[in-house]
Amino acid sequence: MIDLRSDTVTKPTPAMRRAMAEAEVGDDVLDGDPTVRRLEAQVAARLGKPSALYFPTGTMANQAALWLLGEPGTEVFCHDDSHIVNWEIAGTAALAGLQVRAVRGGPVLTADALRAAIRPASVHAPRASLVCAENTHNGAGGMVTPLAELRAIRAVADELGIPLHLDGARLWNASVATGTSLADFAACAATVMVSFSKGLGAPVGACLVGDAGPMRRAWEVRKRFGGGMRQSGILAAAALHGLEQHLPRLHEDHTRARHLAARLAAVPGVEVVPPDTNIVMLDLVAGQTAMGVVERAKALGVLCTPWHATRVRCVLHLDVDDVAVARAGEVLAEALRP
């Protein structure tokens, strides 16, 4: 089976497993795990922020940021199709006490759409306390928000006097695709989440990075959420290995995504969203259903995701090589036939 459902399906390589087995460890809740400390220092340096904190998942790190930066009983601006709105089980409401002000208009958040969603000040209407952006944007097919747009979003947040959190689960991909440094992207936001379990190929984990103010309380919030881990250096070693060995190869996933998109562009009945990074979205325009296409592809040996009723998502990653992507192209072309 060729598995294109997500870049989370990668299995740790033998070299990553060796790095994990040999990691120097300590009790991270008690007095710090040396490998976790090394990872946090390296991630803070790469993103140009004073501080980084290792989390078991990106979801917990996003939720911690919402909790830290948002004010209960106010609104958070999020793109309508963002991970925080769609895939975190309404943690905004259940944990942070925030109401989502879903921003529509365009496949990703823009400064113009954000500005249009601002409510006129009124004692009868909710205030907003936070803006969240996502880069790259998963629901939009791994689309990059360029630095100039992210800066414009930050400028709107500044006008409102509220902070910006960046869900940068795949910020690595945005940086590789554009040549914009991670630090330039990160400078736009008060806090940034980056994930190790997507393109970098680690089994789990994420970091929240940020300015000194919010990060002083992040350790406490992580502990309260049940995210204090002990000999977590075993996991941090996988993330360090991913940064050293797999970040430099991320461009290969982008090239393969373009190859897959080019192969399928000529197939009747499908509109391919041109990929910025490692995700290829296939829009079905001849009456096929995503479920039908996914089932046919599965029977032929390729797994992909029915993103919604008429959209199929294919994700390139570490465990899909040139031979596999060529084969996946032929199988999908067959499965997409109306």
Ligand X SMILES: *Cc1c(COP(=O)(O)O)cnc(C)c1O
The tokens of 333 are what?
Answer: 């072309």
Minimum separation from the CB atom of position 83 to ligand X (A) = 3
When asked if residue 57 is in the footprint of ligand X (CB under 6 A), the reply is yes
The residue from 10, 35, 62, 278 that contacts ligand X (CB under 6 A) is 62
The residue from 40, 80, 81, 167 that contacts ligand X (CB under 6 A) is 167
When asked if residue 142 is in the footprint of ligand X (CB under 6 A), the reply is no
Taking the least distance from each CB to ligand X, the nearer of 83 and 259 is 83
The radius of gyration computed from the CA coordinates of the chain, to the nearest angstrom, equals 20
Taking the least distance from each CB to ligand X, the nearer of 108 and 293 is 108
When asked if residue 201 is in the footprint of ligand X (CB under 6 A), the reply is no
Q: Count residues near ligand X (CB under 6 A).
A: 12
Provide the CB-side half-sphere exposure for 189 (13 A, CA): 31
Minimum separation from the CB atom of position 90 to ligand X (A) = 14
Taking the least distance from each CB to ligand X, the nearer of 172 and 336 is 172
Taking the least distance from each CB to ligand X, the nearer of 174 and 261 is 174
When asked if residue 59 is in the footprint of ligand X (CB under 6 A), the reply is yes
The residue from 58, 91, 141, 329 that contacts ligand X (CB under 6 A) is 58
The residue from 10, 110, 197, 288 that contacts ligand X (CB under 6 A) is 197
Minimum separation from the CB atom of position 149 to ligand X (A) = 17
Taking the least distance from each CB to ligand X, the nearer of 23 and 78 is 78
Of 38-46, 57-65, 180-188, 322-330, the segment contacting ligand X by CB under 6 A is 57-65
Minimum separation from the CB atom of position 202 to ligand X (A) = 10
Q: What is the end-to-end Cα distance of the chain in Å, rounded?
A: 23
Q: SS3 sequence, the chain?
A: CEECCCCCCCCCCHHHHHHHHCCCCCCCCCCCCHHHHHHHHHHHHHHCCCEEEEECCHHHHHHHHHHHHCCCCCEEEEECCCHHHHCCCCHHHHCCCCEEEEECCCCCCCHHHHHHHCCCCCCCCCCEEEEEEECCECCCCCECCCHHHHHHHHHHHHHHCCCEEEEECCHHHHHHHHCCCHHHHHCCCCEEEEECCCCCCCCCCEEEEECHHHHHHHHHHHHHCCCCCCCCHHHHHHHHHHHHHHHHHHHHHHHHHHHHHHHHHCCCCEEECCCCCCEEEEEECCCCCHHHHHHHHHHCCEECEEEECCEEEEECCCCCCHHHHHHHHHHHHHHHCC
Taking the least distance from each CB to ligand X, the nearer of 232 and 288 is 232
When asked if residue 180 is in the footprint of ligand X (CB under 6 A), the reply is no
When asked if residue 313 is in the footprint of ligand X (CB under 6 A), the reply is no
Minimum separation from the CB atom of position 13 to ligand X (A) = 19
The residue from 83, 154, 165, 256 that contacts ligand X (CB under 6 A) is 83
Cα 264 to its chain centre, rounded Å, is: 25
When asked if residue 195 is in the footprint of ligand X (CB under 6 A), the reply is yes
Scan residues 108-137 and list those touching ligand X (CB under 6 A).
134
When asked if residue 175 is in the footprint of ligand X (CB under 6 A), the reply is no
Whether 308 and 290 have beta carbons less than 8 Å apart is answered as yes
* Residue ranges in contact with ligand X by CB under 6 A: 57-59, 62, 83, 134, 138, 167, 169, 195, 197, 206
